[in-house]
Structure 1
Amino acid sequence: FEGEACKCLPQVIAKALAEGKTVGVLCGRELESELAELVEKQHLQLSCWGDNREQLAADLFYLLRDFDRTCPDVILAEGVEEDGLGLAIMNRLRKAAGYQIITLENGSLHLKNNVNLPTFMLQ
């Protein structure tokens, strides 16, 4: 999730959980606090990188491998600003996501590569 689309992340997670999906979420500390009530759901794996991009860069490989180990149905990651270290982080996240980047356009979510969104992401 990049930019404004991050604001929709809690709703998308809730819909995926309601459909019985197991969900992995990679996010910063601020979004982690917003998702706290959803963490109690047994099918949500929340991985937080802390407060800064340096910490994310240091832990990113480990965090992604942890998702490989637990095999959630869906992995959603919060994007970061693409300046300095953020450019390398976003490059790695895009590759890990197979370039399936979700954006918010005109009030609805879209994949950048024009692939249809899963039903739980549709409004």
Structure 2
Amino acid sequence: MDRVMGQTVGMDREGRQELHYRALEGDVAGIRERLAAGDEVGLADRQGFTALHFAAQESQTEAVRVLVEAGAPVDARDRFGNTPLWRAVFSSRGKDATVEALVEAGADPDIVNEAGASPRELAGRIGADEVAALFAQTH
């Protein structure tokens, strides 16, 4: 991507590219379009959020799969130390499809954030029983 005054062209004030927003919306076709256009799959915004963080947070399972297939780093940490898996667990609302997709992609359920909570611990704390059961199978 071209750079203008230290900022990659195509990024907004938050340091996000269009790929971040497509992931947030779960727009799989848009994600593929932006990747083909050269958006960086692992680019973190000013808060450390990657497109995968956004897709995971919004339980956009198909978007998560597409991003992972494109090489998104599954254990990237935002400024709070949260990985996409942590965000997926926090937002799971008793559903585990997105969490499962991240675990299958190799996401580590035992990475602790700045507050000392891992995705595995978080699942127990918030009563996400299906997610906790999934983690019990991963050791």
Structure holding more strand per residue? 1
Q: TM-score, normalised by structure 1?
A: 0.36
| Larger Rg belongs to | 2
Q: TM-score, normalised by structure 2?
A: 0.33
Answer 1 or 2: higher relative contact order, Cα 8 Å, separation at least 6. 1
